[in-house]
C-alpha cells in the first residue's frame, strides 16, 4: 500500500463512518515504533505506523485510522478530542476504533515506585536505591513496582 492509497483509504473511512470529509494529509511514517498512528495537532495530518500495517494487515490499520479520525474530527470541531474525554470515548466506541494511543500517550518513565505508607506513586526514568530514598511526602519506604 502506497501513501496515495492511504490517503484515499482515510478519506473513504471518514465519509463512511464519520459522515464528514477528511481534508488533510494521511501518510505512513516508517519511524513510528510504539504506536499505531498519530494525529498531528498543528497540521491536522494523520501518520500511520507502517510496520504495524505490515504485521497486522489492513483490518487493524482501519481500526487505527478510525481512532485517529476521532481525534481529528473532534479537535477540528472544538470538542473533547483527548483520550480522557467522554466525547472521544463515545465516538471511538461508535465507530469501532482501536484503543492504540499516539506517541505522546506512551509514558516516558521506565520505573515505578510505590510508597509503602501513603501509596503515592513515583515515576522515574532510572532506578533508584530504595534503601536510600524515601517518600517525599511521608518519608515512608519505597517499593519497586516492575
Question: Between 76 and 138, whose beta carbon lies closer to Zn ion?
Answer: 138
Write down the least CB distance from residue 38 to Zn ion, Å: 7
Write down the least CB distance from residue 36 to Zn ion, Å: 9
Residue 87: strand, helix, or coil: helix
Write down the least CB distance from residue 14 to Zn ion, Å: 16
Whether 58 is catalytic is no
**CA nearest neighbour of 3 among 41, 50, 68, 36:** 50
Question: Between 48 and 135, whose beta carbon lies closer to Zn ion?
Answer: 135
Residues 73 and 126: their CA atoms lie apart, in Å, by 38
37 beta partners: 48
Residue ranges that bind Zn ion, judged by CB under 5 A:
101-102, 115, 117-118, 120, 135, 137-138, 140
Write down the least CB distance from residue 140 to Zn ion, Å: 4
Q: What is the DSSP string of 19-80?
A: SS---S-EEEETT--S-SEEE-TTT--EEEEHHHHHHH-HHHHHHHHHHHHHHHHHHHTTS-
Residue 122, H or E segment:
strand 121-124
Question: Between 4 and 142, whose beta carbon lies closer to Zn ion?
Answer: 142
Q: Per the residue annotation, which of 4, 11, 68, 87 is the catalytic one? A: 68
Taking the mean position of all CA atoms in its chain, how far away is CA 13? 19
Question: Between 2 and 129, whose beta carbon lies closer to Zn ion?
Answer: 129
Indicate which residues carry an active-site annotation. 68
Amino acid at each position: 500500500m502506497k501513501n496515495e492509497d492511504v490517503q484515499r483509504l482515510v478519506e473513504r473511512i471518514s465519509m463512511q463512518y464519520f459522515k464528514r470529509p477528511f481534508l488533510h494529509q494521511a501518510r505512513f511514517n516508517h519511524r513510528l515504533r510504539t504506536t499505531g498512528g498519530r494525529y498531528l495537532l498543528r497540521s491536522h495530518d494523520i501518520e500511520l505506523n507502517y510496520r504495524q500495517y505490515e504485521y497486522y494487515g489492513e483490518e487493524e490499520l482501519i481500526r487505527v485510522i478510525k481512532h485517529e479520525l476521532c481525534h481529528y474530527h473532534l479537535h477540528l470541531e472544538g470538542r473533547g478530542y483527548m483520550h480522557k474525554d467522554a466525547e472521544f470515548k463515545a465516538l471511538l466506541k461508535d465507530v469501532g476504533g482501536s484503543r492504540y494511543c499516539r506517541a505522546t500517550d506512551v509514558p516516558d518513565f521506565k520505573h515505578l515506585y510505590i510508597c509503602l505508607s501513603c501509596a503515592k506513586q513515583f515515576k522515574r526514568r532510572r532506578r533508584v536505591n530504595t534503601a536510600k530514598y524515601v517518600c517525599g511526602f511521608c518519608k515512608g519506604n519505597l517499593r519497586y513496582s516492575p
